[in-house]
Structure 1
Amino acid sequence: MHGWMFSSSLYDLLIIRGLFATVKMVNYEVIVYTSNLAGAPTMNKVFIKLVGTEGESKKQWLISLKGASDIIRGAAPGFSVCCPTSIGKLVLIELEKHRLPLLPEDSWFPAKVQVKSPEGDTYTFPIYRWITDSKVQRFREGTALTVLEDNHHLGRYSRQQELKLREEDYRWNVYAEGLPHSMKAESNLSLPCEVRFSFTKSTEFFYTASSGLTKLKLMGLTTCKKAWTNIDDISRVFCSKKTEISDYVKEHWTEDAFFGYQFLNGVNPMLIRRCEALPSNFPVPDEMVFLSGQCSLAHEIKNGNIFLCDYKQLNGLPTNTINGKKQYLTAPLVLLHKTPDDKMKPIAIQLKQTPADDNPVFLPTDSEYDWLMAKIFVRSADFNEHQMNVHLLRTHLLAEVFAVALLRNMPMVHPLYKLLVPHTRYTLQINHLARALLISENGVFTQFSASGGEGMLTLLKRSLSSVTYTSLCIPDDIAERGLENVPNFYYRDDGLKVWDIIHRFVQGIFGHYYKDDCAVEQDSELQKWISDIFEHGFLSKECTGIPQRLTTVAELVKFATMVIFTCSAQHSAVNTGQFDYGGWMPNCPISLQRPPPTKKGTASKATMLQTLPDVNTTVQGLSTLWLLSKQSSDFVAFGQYPEDHFCEEIPTKLIKDFQGDLEVLSAIIKNRNKGLEVPYTYMDPAEVENSVAI
């Protein structure tokens, strides 16, 4: 941050000197900090007024001692706002910005204002927003206050005015019936300034998006509608875009142990569950999977060693047409066995939901390509399930609901706003871009994924109907899926630790501001926030288990923990590794262009290549995964708060303790990963972004 200090005009100085002859004045020392964002300083005139419990100062022009260049550098001594008498405890400040003659109107991004009173108290006023016009902007003193504690009439008035403006700026929009509601915005430029990308973020994002395809366009691959004729050609084309894990995937993607490993620690760890009884539509007799009487399937189910992945949400989805060819997407059932050496291996795959003669159960003992083709259809199904449900819906779209509900219903002075606003950074713009570039009529997933078009919206609607509150809370979700004791499950191990650290932190924050359950129940702003989430995020469906009201501190703590976890660690877990596991296309085909095999003994290397997506479809899919996995240089790591919204001693200490706990966990994860063949980094707090920002 750059400190920006000001001196009064000559006229003001003469007035003040005249007054000093008859009246003893009191001085308030003011420091205004301007953000170090590109374009943050202003060349306009800035005025300030201090408002306290016993009165207010006159509006006073603040001008840099050393001219406009000093605004950029910072480095000025203090400036005094003078009043005839003390105006009491400061409640708020008013800022105005006006254009100087011959100079254009510009934007200004002040970070905070600090004021030292004549009584020796220092007040901090967090701002952290763009001021773009000449309207009066009011900002509250930084001590967090719920609506019940905000007793001063000026404070309550400014609170009401702030929320009135917010409701106009952040309006709900129905993107599609049956989906969570979104932020109403015609374009990125119509989003409020404070939620848009920084110049750095915007530049890097669009450069990555364009550069990812430029070389491939020059090679003619983006328009090549031919099938791959040699699997090695895929690696030669994408040799410039790879990671250590994508290289590992390329070498091991055909192995059963690695296929099973991905259900635990790949980008979609949300589907696998312990199998307590075989589904009636998945007939797998013992002799199919356990040869020579080694053990029985019933025995292994009883011992908790059998697991199921069921892609039933994909059943019957209308599929895409790409390059004039119908695409195929199955709804597989996959049975996995935890072996005595703690590997998770597939033992049976049925590609369609209804048992039939033309829907065989594929086994590891089948021919190499029969078994491999079955696994490829599963991996393609997993790609579509992951992108639409696990990634887009359960992190991006819900994070947008949490963000809009917060910005509409919580004034900046509310402790919930201060806690959650860092976890909304860039979410509204990245989601607007996702709707424009990925799932619009001409979006990449609409055009090139198997579920694109009508199927995509159907899948999203089905997915929302399956979302429950417990499935969004990792301790409940792991228990519900029966995965507490599965070995080598790093998503669970790291996720539960992150959840626990967040929960303790949130418990400390809200324990400070809410002394009893009654304070939660009577907080009208809090109740409007949760009601908005229930209505606009979960379409008022009580079966989701999402609370419609919050009645206890414990309920508030759990819900806020879920929000933070979803917007940070969970998003990282299902987003960051997309290119790692999808960079080698055969491991995660975006679409498949031949129907699934209806009998055994028909698959070959040639039919596999004919089934994989065409060259241009592959190019579009992998370029998108590269973009979605690329970390920005203005990335903010989880638990780091460049903006000081909390200023009191106890919350500040809780934040430091929170950051310390995350640092310890990060060290533990890094140390563990040294001994892993495939390191799991997606829940390492140092690698997790604070918000859904990509």
Structure 2
Amino acid sequence: MLEKMLTTMCGKIRDKPEETKKRFIKGSLVLTKKNVMDVTDLGASFLDRIYDKFGKGVSLQLISSVHADPAHGSKGKKGKETYLEKWNSTFTSVVAGSDATFNVTFQWDESMGVPGAFTIRNYHRSEFYLKTVTLKDVPGHGHLVFTCNSWVYPAHRYKYDRIFFTNKAYLPNDTPEPLRPYREEELVNLRGNGSGMLQEWDRIYDYAYYNDLGTPQNKRPILGGSKEFPYPRRGKTGRTPNKEDPSTESRLSLLNLNIYVPRDERFSQLKFSDFIAWAIKSLGQVLIPEIAAVFDKTINEFDSLEDILRLYDGGIKLANNQTLDKIRKFIPFELLRELARNDGENLLKFPMPDVIKEDRSAWRSDEEFAREMLAGVDPVVIRRLQEFPPASTLDPEIYGNQTSSITREHIKKNMNEDVDEAIRNNRLFILDHHDALMPYLRRINTTRTKTYATRTLLFLQDDGTLKPLAIELSSPHPQGDTDGPKSQVVTPAEYGVESSVWQLAKAYVAVNDSGYHNLISHWLNTHAVIEPFIIATNRHLSVLHPMYNLLHPHFRDTMNINALARHVLINAGGVVELTVFPANYAMEMSSVIYKNWVFPEQALPLELIKRGMAVADSSQAHGVRLLIEDYPYAVDGLEVWSAIKDWVKEYCCFYYKSDDMVQTDTELQAWWAEIRNVGHGDLKDEKWWPQMQTLTELVDSCTIIIWVASALHAAVNFGQYPYAGYLPNRPTMSRRFMPEPGTTEYAELQSNPDVAFLKTITPLFQTLIGISLIEILSRHSSDEVYLGQRDNPEWTLDSQPREAFEALRDKLIDIEKSIRQRNNDKRLKNRFGPVKVPYMLLYPNTSDSKREPGLTGLGIPNSVSI
């Protein structure tokens, strides 16, 4: 009996003290408090400090990834609630974006296994940005990291607890059972219920049409949701319908930049501070009535090319202090100080654009005109000519015969072989904006714009450079569209009035290309098409999903910059309509061109083949052979493309061992179905969408997404100021047609060709606004994250993907070396051209020590971030 009692007692002693199983886990949180200098938040900060004296400002609970809580179904057990330590006494810099580290101690029962998530409640009155939570000496595991990167608002703003998961990726079927309900609930929270006006603390990702561009007084078509005007979807704001036109969404005041995007998609405090500083100048249109008084000759005209150069050499000097005082009445001091730049008297002094740094006139050469089609800001339109004369795809029953009027006689004098031979030898190329513009040209030319639809033929010379052969200027026929175009062909000339006519013809081509670049190559094909992928990813791929971890860095800041664009740039009467030639028809025209957008063709090798710039070649690493060997965008781009694809393939193959795993991934399939059927729903019936049934389709699709968001955007964005910051090189609009012999305009072209040129292209005020805008858009921010970089080196617990990512970084460093070598090879004339601007737009810029913000003209950010 005694032995039995002792045995029982010993058993109870062993079982009793559960406290002996409990451990204290030390942890640290890195977060950014809302800027303490924010005057709108001083009251909340004061209350936070008082409340935190009680030690309960921020609470956290760990969640087991091993054991479920019977009282809450299959959900993982929660540990004891604990609180952040020393909120008030922890130093926080007043500088926007500065981090602070806080300690926290968790009481954790070893029997609950490894934590897989935690919940957090913010009992303060203001939000903070939670970056990471790190746990030390977790029983049975050791070091554990949670990458959060999310704004946490006061708890009363949510109907649920905020939850964060460890840096361990799981496919849905592999997720530990106790974490599955939390994973699913978080996605439901992010999808929302589809109703109500969304507030800044909301985390809801949903879709809307582009029905927020116009107003009842200044109407624009709704883009998206129709066959007539298809468009990618944008992020939903939930703003109320316009009372006068319920089909459109009400707009905010232009001075109100608080446009809803999910809070974690908004610019960081540091970037927003930078952006506001840059954007001050883009408000130049407010200054138009007053700056006009500064110019002493022709209002809204540059009187000479030297006038334009003064924008960079010294700015526009004010006449006297009375003028300055007058302007001060209309301009806030901060804005005036930014515009004045230095001494407070010289307005609008801009950085010197690269295109005129070394040579003030080389931009006018035919060689540079052609080179920029291969290495400029819009190197994605030129294509190989495969039939002569150039044909049209426009419906002849509507538009008549739109075949080009360029003849063999027009071009044979500038070629050393006949046309048929040149086509067989892959020597003829075309920059063709005819079909894109002709359906809109009659309406466009009823605005202040007076322009043409252009075709430019070029010949590939033995030294690898392109030689312009002829430019066709076409306009709608006066008798009606079915009569075809009214066209004239201009050929190169070096002397006399013919030379001035040729320079004007090149300007019309540049106007076409500037508009197409702004609306299609840049806005539509990068900004707009990526946004649905961002929305669908957050709605259907958990942060635990490996594909979320792969893609998320490439979505940073895109929804925010797109929302700002809808607010002030592409809206009715916005900067784009004011400065780019399609004017009121700009976005409508981009919608029509979107009809031809095909997702798989955004892959660089296929895109080059489609344009005839390359042919398939299995002996090449990227599968194609270029037909212009010195094509800087394509040469550098193919190397970057291959590096991205190799990285994506190795990453995906780590998590997916078979096609069956792709097919049975419920989150992945829901994600892809929504991208196709909703995000790009106007094109959902097109047969060429990948079906997402194989690992190959997954790799190809993710590679395209990353390419478009990173390298393609870099190639068409960051060269804007270097090349178009000097507007005569890339004018955005033309205001009068080619002068006819016998007119006063023709006489002016003979006597003073530069003045005639300036009266034709973008006028003064639109130039100032346009330059201000592209200076902003061409800048890298202080907190830019580049391809091959991650915010957190411990972004995943899986070692093989981390090693693959390091291999990507190594490949990008090798690409940097190759680009520098090519730029130093004087035989490759298209790498630098007459203007002596080396091609660096696809230079990865991976070295931390060399990266600088501003107008660097190099570097590939991870995302469409500006």
Same fold by TM (over 0.5)? yes
- Residue of structure 2 in register with 1:317 after alignment: 440
Matched AA of 2:183: R
Distance in 1 of aligned mates of 2:562 and 2:518: 14
Find the counterpart in structure 1 of residue 589 from structure 2. 459
Specify the SS of the correspondent of 2:302: coil
Distance, in Å, in 2 between the alignment partners of 1:559 and 1:129 is 27
Q: Which moved more, 1:275-284 or 1:175-184?
A: 275-284
What is the Cα deviation at residue 33 of structure 1? 2.8
Name which of structure 1's ranges 603-612 and 623-632 shifts more when overlaid on structure 2.
Answer: 603-612
Contact kept, 8 Å, 2:261 with 2:563, in 1: the verdict is no
Deviations 1:570-594 (A, max 9, x none): 0000000011111111121111110
Query: Are 2:249 and 1:206 equivalent residues in the alignment?
Result: no
Gap change, CA 1:525 and 1:666, over 3 Å in 2: same
Provide the rounded CA distance (Å) in 2 between the counterparts of 1:682 and 1:110. Answer: 31
Residues 518, 372 of structure 1: alpha-carbon distance in 2 compared, 3 angstrom cutoff: same
Tell me, in whole angstroms, the C-alpha distance in 2 between the residues paired with 1:477 and 1:51.
48
For residue 75 of structure 1, report the CA deviation from its aligned partner. 7.1
Corresponding residue SS for 1:551: coil
Letter in 2 for 1:164: V
Max radius of gyration: which structure? Answer: 2
In structure 2, the residue corresponding to 1:129 is in which secondary structure? strand
Aligned to 2:839: 680
2:185 aligns to what? 161
Q: Secondary structure at the match of 2:838?
A: coil
Partner residue of 1:393? Answer: 524
Q: Which amino acid aligns with 2:776?
A: L
Q: Residue 242 of structure 1 aligns to which amino acid in structure 2?
A: M
Quote the offset at 1:331 in angstroms: 1.4
Partner SS, residue 60 of structure 2: strand
**The one of 612, 621, 634 aligned to 1:492:** 634
Match status 1:31 vs 2:55:
no
Alignment match, 1:170: 205
Q: Identity across aligned pairs (percent)?
A: 24
Q: Is 1:197 matched up with 2:267?
A: yes
Alignment of 1:244-643 (within 5 A): 244-248=354-358, 250-278=360-388, 279-280=390-391, 281-291=403-413, 294-311=416-433, 312-317=435-440, 326-352=448-474, 359-365=487-493, 367-453=498-584, 455-483=585-613, 484-541=626-683, 547=689, 549-597=691-739, 602=746, 603-604=749-750, 605=753, 606-643=755-792
- The answer to whether residue 309 in structure 2 is matched with residue 235 in structure 1 is yes
CA–CA separation in structure 2 for the residues paired with 1:272 and 1:357: 22
| Structure 1: gaps spanning 5 or more residues | 1-18
Offset of 1:231 from its aligned partner? Answer: 2.1
Aligned to 2:137: 116
Report the CA distance between 1:71 and its aligned residue: 7.4
1:188 positional shift:
3.4
Does the 8 Å contact 1:329/1:451 carry over to 2? no
- Give 1:133-148 correspondences, 5 Å limit: 133-134=154-155, 135-148=160-173
Contact 2:380–2:521 (CA under 8 A) maintained in structure 1 = yes
1:543 CA drift (Å): 7.0
Q: How far, CA to CA, are the matches of 2:33 and 2:790 in structure 1? A: 15
Q: Which shows bigger deviation, 24-33 or 274-283? A: 24-33
Structure 2 match to 1:179 = 231
Name the SS of the counterpart of 1:145 in structure 2. Answer: coil
Please tell me the residue identity of whatever aligns with 1:382. D
State the AA in 2 paired with 1:129.
S
SS at 1:349 equivalent: strand
Q: What is the alpha-carbon distance in structure 1 between the residues aligned to residue 643 and residue 260 of structure 2?
A: 37
| Displacement after TM superposition at 1:445 (Å) | 0.8
Q: CA deviation at 1:669?
A: 1.5
CA–CA distance in structure 1, aligned partners of residues 612 and 271 of structure 2: 41
Aligned to 2:813: 663
Secondary structure at 1:549 match in 2: coil
Quick one: distance in 2 between partners of 1:189 and 1:287? Answer: 57
Q: Is the 8 A contact 2:476 2:486 kept in 1?
A: no
| Shift, 1:221, TM fit | 7.7
Deviates more, 1:434-443 or 1:243-252: 243-252
Relative to structure 1, the CA distance from residue 293 to residue 533 in structure 2 (aligned partners, 3 Å threshold; closer, same or farther) is closer
Could you say which residue in structure 1 is the equivalent of 2:849?
Answer: none
- How big is the shift at 1:315? 1.0
Deviation (angstroms), 1:671 = 3.4
**Is the alpha carbon distance of 1:666 and 1:319 closer, same or farther for their aligned partners in structure 2, counting shifts above 3 Å?**
farther
Q: Which sits farther off after the overlay, 368-377 or 629-638?
A: 629-638
Contact 2:172/2:666, CA 8 A, preserved across alignment: yes
Letter of the structure 2 residue corresponding to residue 81 of structure 1: Q
Give, in angstroms, the shift of residue 378 of structure 1: 0.3
CA distance in 2, matches of 1:384, 1:661: 35
Residues 497-506 or 286-295, more deviating? 286-295
2:149 corresponding residue in structure 1? 128
- Report if the CA contact (8 A) 1:28-1:80 is conserved: yes
1:520/1:550 contact within 8 Å kept: yes
CA-CA distance at 1:665 after TM superposition: 1.1
> What do residues 52-97 of structure 1 show as CA deviations (whole Å, max 9, x unaligned)?
21353543222326953157786777734243x4202333222222
Distance 1:471 1:252 in 2: 35
Q: 2:67 aligns with which of 54, 61, 81?
A: 54
Partner of 2:829: none
> Per the alignment, do residues 22 and 415 of structure 1 end up closer, same or farther by CA in structure 2, a change over 3 Å counting?
closer
Query: SS state of the match for residue 470, structure 2?
Result: strand
Name the Cα RMSD after superposition.
3.0
Separation (CA, whole Å) in 2 of partners of 1:362 and 1:577: 29
Say whether the 8 Å CA contact 1:188–1:432 is kept in structure 2: no
Count residues with an aligned counterpart: 668
Measured after TM superposition, the shift of residue 293 of structure 1 is 8.5
1:319 Cα deviation after fit: 7.3
Give the whole-Å Cα distance in 2 for the aligned partners of 1:147 and 1:494.
Answer: 38
* Local SS of the residue matching 2:146: strand
CA contact (8 A) 1:28 1:118 kept: no
Unaligned runs of 5+ in 2: 1-14, 37-44, 69-76, 94-98, 193-203, 211-222, 225-229, 240-256, 314-349, 392-402, 478-483, 614-625, 826-831, 846-858
Contact in 2 for aligned 1:48/1:96 (Cα 8 Å): yes
Aligned to 2:863: 691
The amino acid of 2:662's aligned partner reads V
Contact 1:57 1:81 in 2 (8 A): no
Measure how far apart 1:209 and its partner are. 1.4
Alpha-carbon distance, 1:607 to partner? 3.0
User: Given the superposition, is the C-alpha separation of residues 121 and 531 from structure 1 closer, same or farther in structure 2, using an over 3 Å criterion?
Assistant: same
Residue range with higher mean Cα deviation, 555-564 or 363-372: 363-372
**Distance in 1 (alpha carbons) for counterparts of 2:85 and 2:586:** 56
Separation of aligned partners in 2, 1:545 and 1:270: 25
1:410-455 CA-to-partner distances (Å, cap 9, x unmatched) read 11000011111111111111000111111112310122321121x2
- Higher relative contact order at CA 8 Å, sep ≥6: structure 1 or structure 2? 1
221-230 vs 25-34, which deviates more?
Answer: 221-230
Q: Evaluate the alpha carbon distance shift between residue 65 and residue 199 of structure 1 in structure 2; reply closer, same or farther with a 3 A threshold.
A: closer
Distance 2:294 2:581 in 1: 18
**SS of corresponding position for 1:650:** helix
Counterparts of 1:674 and 1:384, CA distance in 2: 32
Structure 1 stretch displaced more, 598-607 or 127-136: 598-607
Q: Structure 1 221/339 Cα, relative in aligned 2: closer, same or farther at 3 Å? A: farther
